[in-house]
């Protein structure tokens, strides 16, 4: 019996003169031709069975086995097998074919970490002379259809190009000490006692971070003279729908960071933490239930951009997940005690897949608006007295005088929960509804949330208001994880 990989079989037909079953010498008798014909048919059928998904692997999750009616007798470079996975691997995996030696299975040139081979999927491997290399598509690793598009990074707003809480394109916030506010959309910070800070976005146009091509990075600056030395956190809490997809999966986290000229922390840690409770922030509020670390990496950070990355497996019991950067400043803050943060990412699989440049503003904005949105134009930060015609919601006075007036706001997208609504007078330093025609304000302006996508706003008009007057107001709707 011979297989197609036999060294005695030549690509040149005239050279196949070895004795049957490895060839057919000239002048062979009819019975030899008959025998050789059956050998060729058997060889073709064995190749068919091995290169098509005709068998399901047995063995165990990380030591899978293939068995055929006729198994190969030696490991030969170039051998290929296609099979239906009988198990999902949870770490490095070997494949045994028949009685051959158990051999490591690699993907992208590295050992498996877990989840690359998934039960029920068709897997194709080839032997490279040392290991089996997976050549079939990733089980779930490179692309996902979560969050409304084809995305490989499960973090929201990882390029920081949605900045609703500030001025789009030039975001600036100055969190006070002992606060934990949301900053650039979906990202929050924890600033402890005597850690008043400045958080800004820095626009890039290909001049920095070569190869990433990202639009912005975030700069977190402990203000000069601040003395607080507790750990600062910059993080994102994942919602239930994303946690559900990642539970039990191998993931990789990564981020690019750079220290300012006066950066005082000894190092920076990136980590993914998990818990088993309801969605909440790990570092504030109730914290995570049974908090565990999925993976982490720590490194000294200087004046050059570096990449921090780590790989781990999310517990199958996880119901909470949070991506965090942590650093602990030292002493009194000098000038430029800053950390620059670029392209945080969380993807399935054992390797860092890099920044996802498909995350443009127009596709990322609706995803962020599930958690927070505003009536203000993108170039206007939420505040009272920013001026009319800045995106304020309008209605008309139905009946003149000091009677109840009404405005309804249908939010741009359905939010994750009924939001907390804050009102802003567009033309005065208060939170009241404004009569645009009379330049006077209502009293008792009160929002009434009607669900996950609507806000009814009631107010009492002023004497002198007449039917048909335009009334306006600004609002923000906040359904963030707290």
pLDDT at 53: 94
238 part of a folded domain:
yes
46 part of a folded domain:
yes
2 part of a folded domain:
no
Domain count across the chain: 4
Q: How many residues does the chain have?
A: 482
pLDDT at 144: 40
**CA angle in degrees (0–180, nearest 5) for 254-255-260:** 150
My answer on whether 171 and 318 are in the same domain is yes
The 3-state secondary structure of the chain, one letter per residue: CCCCCCCCCCCCHHHCCCCCCCCCCCCCCHHHHHHHHHHHHHHHHHHHHHHCCCCECEEECCEEEECCCCCCCCCCCCCEEEEECCCCCCCCEEEEECCCCCEEEEECCEECCCCCCCCCCEEEEEECCCCEEECCCCCCCCCECHHHCCECCCCCCCCCCCCCCCCCCCCEECCCCCECCECCCCCEEEECCCCCEEEEEEECCCCCCCCCCCCEEEEEEECCCCCCCCCEEEEEEECHHHHHHHCCCEEEEEEEEEECCCCCCCCEEEEEEEECCCCCCCCCCCCCCCCEEEEEEEECCCCCCEEEEEEEECCCCCCEEEEEEEECCCCCCCCCEEEEEEEEEEEECCCCCCCCCCCCHHHHHHHHHCCEEECCCCCCCCCCCCCCCCCCEEEECCCCCCCEEEEEEECCCCCCCCCEEEEECCCCCCCCCEECCCCEECEEEEEEECCCCEEEEEEECCCCCCCCCEEEEEEEEECCCC
User: Do residues 374 and 382 lie in contact, with contact meaning Cβ atoms separated by under 8 Å?
Assistant: yes
244 part of a folded domain:
yes
Could you tell me the residue range of the domain that residue 312 belongs to?
A: 160-365
My answer on whether 239 and 317 are in the same domain is yes
pLDDT at 21: 64
Q: 302: which residues sit within 8 A by CB, 6+ positions away?
A: 258, 259, 263
Give the phi and the psi of residue 128 in degrees, each rounded to 5: -95, 10
155 part of a folded domain:
no
Q: What is the mean pLDDT of each run of 10 residues along the chain (482 residues)?
A: 62 64 64 64 83 95 95 93 92 94 89 81 94 77 39 91 97 98 98 98 71 84 98 97 94 96 98 96 90 97 94 96 98 98 93 84 95 97 97 95 94 96 98 97 95 95 96 98 94
My answer on whether 338 and 203 are in the same domain is yes
302 part of a folded domain:
yes
* Among candidate residues 338, 365, 392, the one where a domain is terminated: 365
My answer on whether 330 and 195 are in the same domain is yes
* pTM exceeds cut of 0.85: no
Q: Measured between alpha carbons, how far is 28 from 406 in angstroms, rounded to an integer? A: 100
Q: Measured between alpha carbons, how far is 379 from 370 in angstroms, rounded to an integer? A: 20
Peptide bond into 21 cis (omega under 30): yes
CA dihedral 254, 156, 144, 146 (to 10 degrees): 150
My answer on whether 273 and 309 are in the same domain is yes
pLDDT at 3: 64
My answer on whether 83 and 185 are in the same domain is no
My answer on whether 217 and 281 are in the same domain is yes
The closest of 8, 12, 43, 35 to 22, measured between CA atoms, is: 8
Residue entry with tokens 């109840």: 404
My answer on whether 189 and 87 are in the same domain is no
Q: Measured between alpha carbons, how far is 375 from 393 in angstroms, rounded to an integer? A: 7
pLDDT at 212: 63
The dihedral through the CA atoms of 81, 87, 91, 97 has a sign that is: negative
My answer on whether 68 and 116 are in the same domain is yes
The closest of 216, 237, 207 to 167, measured between CA atoms, is: 216
My answer on whether 29 and 91 are in the same domain is no
pLDDT at 286: 77
My answer on whether 359 and 468 are in the same domain is no
122 part of a folded domain:
yes
pLDDT at 141: 40
pLDDT at 150: 45
My answer on whether 89 and 176 are in the same domain is no
Q: Measured between alpha carbons, how far is 292 from 289 in angstroms, rounded to an integer? A: 9
CATH number reported for the structural domain that contains residue 258 in this entry? 2.60.120.260
431 part of a folded domain:
yes
């Amino acid at each position: 019996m011979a297989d197609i990989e036999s060294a005695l079989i030549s690509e040149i037909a005239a050279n196949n003169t070895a004795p049957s079953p490895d060839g057919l010498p000239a002048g062979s008798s009819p019975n030899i031709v008959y025998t050789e014909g059956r050998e060729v048919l058997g060889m073709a059928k064995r190749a068919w069975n091995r290169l098509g998904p005709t068998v399901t692997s047995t063995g165990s999750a990380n030591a899978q086995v293939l068995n055929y009616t006729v198994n190969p007798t030696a490991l030969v470079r170039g051998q290929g097998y296609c099979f239906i996975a009988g198990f999902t691997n949870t770490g490095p995996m070997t494949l045994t074919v028949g009685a051959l030696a158990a051999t490591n299975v690699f993907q992208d040139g590295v050992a498996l970490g877990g989840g690359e081979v998934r039960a029920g999927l068709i897997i194709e491997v080839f032997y490279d002379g040392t290991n089996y290399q997976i050549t079939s598509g990733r089980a779930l690793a490179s692309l996902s259809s979560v969050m409304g598009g084809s995305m490989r990074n499960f973090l929201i707003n990882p390029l920081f190009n949605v900045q609703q809480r500030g001025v789009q394109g030039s975001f600036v916030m100055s969190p006070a000490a002992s606060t934990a506010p949301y900053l650039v959309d979906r990202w929050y910070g924890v600033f402890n006692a005597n850690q008043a800070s400045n958080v800004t976005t820095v626009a890039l146009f290909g001049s920095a971070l070569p190869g990433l091509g990202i639009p912005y990075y975030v700069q977190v600056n402990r203000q000069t003279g601040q003395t607080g030395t507790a750990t600062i956190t910059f993080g994102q809490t994942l919602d239930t729908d994303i946690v559900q997809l990642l539970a039990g999966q191998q993931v990789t986290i990564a981020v690019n960071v750079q220290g300012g000229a006066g950066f005082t922390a000894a190092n920076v840690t990136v980590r993914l933490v998990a818990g088993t409770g309801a969605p909440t922030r790990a570092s504030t509020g109730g914290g995570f239930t049974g908090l565990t670390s999925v993976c982490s990496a720590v490194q000294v950070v200087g004046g050059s951009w570096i990449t921090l990355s780590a790989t781990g497996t999310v517990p199958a019991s996880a119901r909470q997940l949070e991506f965090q950067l942590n650093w602990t400043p030292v002493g009194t803050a000098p000038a430029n005690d800053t950390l620059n943060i670029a392209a945080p990412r969380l993807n399935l699989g054992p390797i860092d897949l890099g920044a996802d440049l498909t995350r443009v503003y127009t596709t990322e904005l609706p995803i962020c608006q599930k958690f927070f949105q505003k009536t203000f134009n993108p170039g206007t930060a939420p505040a009272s007295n920013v001026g009319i015609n800045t995106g304020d919601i309008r209605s008309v006075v139905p009946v003149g005088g000091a009677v109840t007036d009404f405005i309804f706001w249908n939010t741009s997208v359905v939010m994750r929960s009924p939001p907390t609504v804050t009102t802003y007078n567009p033309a005065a330093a208060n939170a009241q509804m404004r009569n645009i025609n009379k330049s006077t304000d209502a009293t008792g302006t009160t929002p009434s949330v009607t669900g996950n996508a609507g806000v009814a706003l009631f107010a009492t008009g002023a004497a002198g208001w007449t039917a048909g007057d335009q009334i306006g107001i600004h609002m923000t709707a906040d359904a963030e994880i707290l």
